Amino acid sequence: MSPLSELIACPKCDALHRARALAENERARCARCGTLLIEPREVSFLHVIALSLTAIILMVGAVFFPFLQISAQGLSHGSSIFGVAMAFSDGFLAPLALAVMLMIVALPLLRFCALIYVLWPLSKGAPPWPRAAEVFHAVEVMSPWMMAEVFIIGVAVALVKVAGLASVSFGPAFWAFCLLVMIMGLKNAFMSKGVIWRALGQ
Chain-centre distance for alpha carbon 130: 22
Distances (CA, A) of 162 to 68, 73, 149, 159: 12, 14, 20, 5
Tell me which residue of 111, 84, 114 sits closest to 100, measured CA to CA.
84
Burial of 119 (0-12, 13-18, 19+ CB in 10 A): buried
> Is residue 98 a contact point for another protein (CB under 8 A)?
no
**Residue from 21, 23, 126, 157 binding another protein (CB under 8 A):** 157
Give bridge partners of residue 75 from the DSSP assignment: 72
Shortest Cβ 165–another protein spacing (Å): 6
Site string for another protein, 72-91 (x = CB under 8 A): xx-xxxxx---xxxxxx---
Spatial contact of 55 and 49, defined as CB atoms under 8 Å apart: no
**Residue from 151, 177, 184, 192 binding another protein (CB under 8 A):** 151
The smaller minimum CB distance to another protein, of residues 54 and 82, is found at 82
**Residue from 22, 33, 60, 98 binding another protein (CB under 8 A):** 33
> Is residue 194 a contact point for another protein (CB under 8 A)?
yes
Tell me which residue of 56, 16, 44, 15 sits closest to 148, measured CA to CA.
56
> Is residue 22 a contact point for another protein (CB under 8 A)?
no
Shortest Cβ 132–another protein spacing (Å): 10
Backbone angles phi, psi at 78, to 5 degrees: -115, 165
List residues near another protein by CB under 8 A. Answer: 4-5, 7-16, 19, 31-34, 37, 68, 70, 72-73, 75-79, 83-88, 92-93, 95-96, 99-100, 103-104, 133-134, 136-137, 140, 144-145, 147, 150-151, 153-155, 157-158, 160-162, 164-166, 193-194, 197-198, 200-201
